[in-house]
């Protein structure tokens, strides 16, 4: 019933100065979640995570809390004891503009009953380091809203 009421979430991706630099859209499907991001980021590889709180207060975005991790698992796709439900693949930006669409079968409508945020970090997620992949400071954040 809940999924029938809420089929999509979206948010504005902000930089540490509070400026809009892109958009995030999440579509809830019967088979998982489709995440679409687009906008402007510095060239390089950046970690991408879903965070536990849907609050993005610049400049450090610590208001988003830690990674979404309802099962209390270790961090990282490469960790035999991982991964968090908030762990997502890295973004590789070759120009300052990017667009990315991911299908995430391990997430569902239940994972978005509470407000969540999508956070992008300065560096790549190494897939192992605790608690967040040694990805460095948070450089962008989007609050996901219906």
DSSP-assigned letter for residue 128:
S
Predicted structure pTM score: 0.91
**pLDDT at residue number 3:** 42
Structure token pair of residue 22: 């892109």
pLDDT band at 4 (very low <50, low <70, confident <90, very high): very low
Going along the chain from its start, the domains and CATH numbers come out as 9-143 (2.60.40.200)
Handedness of CA 63, 56, 109, 34 (dihedral sign): negative
Q: Does pLDDT of 92 surpass 90? A: yes
- Beginning with the edge strand found earlier in the chain, give each strand of the sheet holding 48-51 in spatial order: 48-51, 117-121, 138-143, 8-14, 20-29, 32-40, 97-104
Percent of the chain past pLDDT 70, that is, above it, reads 95
Q: Does pLDDT of 5 surpass 80? A: no
In the predicted model, what is the mean pLDDT of residues 93-116?
A: 91
Paired strand residues for 48? 120
Pairing of strands 138-143, 117-121: antiparallel
pLDDT tens by residue, 41-87: 999 999 999 999 999 999 999 999 999 999 999 999 998 887 989 99
């Amino acid at each position: 019933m809940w999924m029938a009421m809420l089929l999509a979430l979206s948010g504005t991706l902000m930089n540490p100065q509070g400026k809009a630099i892109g958009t995030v859209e999440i579509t809830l499907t019967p088979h998982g979640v489709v995440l679409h991001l687009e906008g402007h980021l510095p060239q390089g590889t950046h970690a991408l995570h879903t965070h536990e709180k849907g609050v993005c207060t610049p400049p450090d975005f610590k208001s988003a809390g830690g990674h979404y991790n309802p099962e209390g698992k270790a961090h990282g796709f490469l960790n035999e004891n991982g991964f968090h439900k908030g762990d997502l693949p890295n973004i590789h930006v070759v120009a300052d503009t990017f667009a990315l669409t991911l299908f995430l079968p391990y997430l569902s409508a239940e994972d978005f009953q509470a407000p969540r945020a999508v956070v992008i970090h300065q560096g790549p997620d190494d897939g192992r380091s605790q608690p967040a992949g040694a990805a460095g400071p948070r450089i962008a954040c989007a609050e996901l809203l219906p």
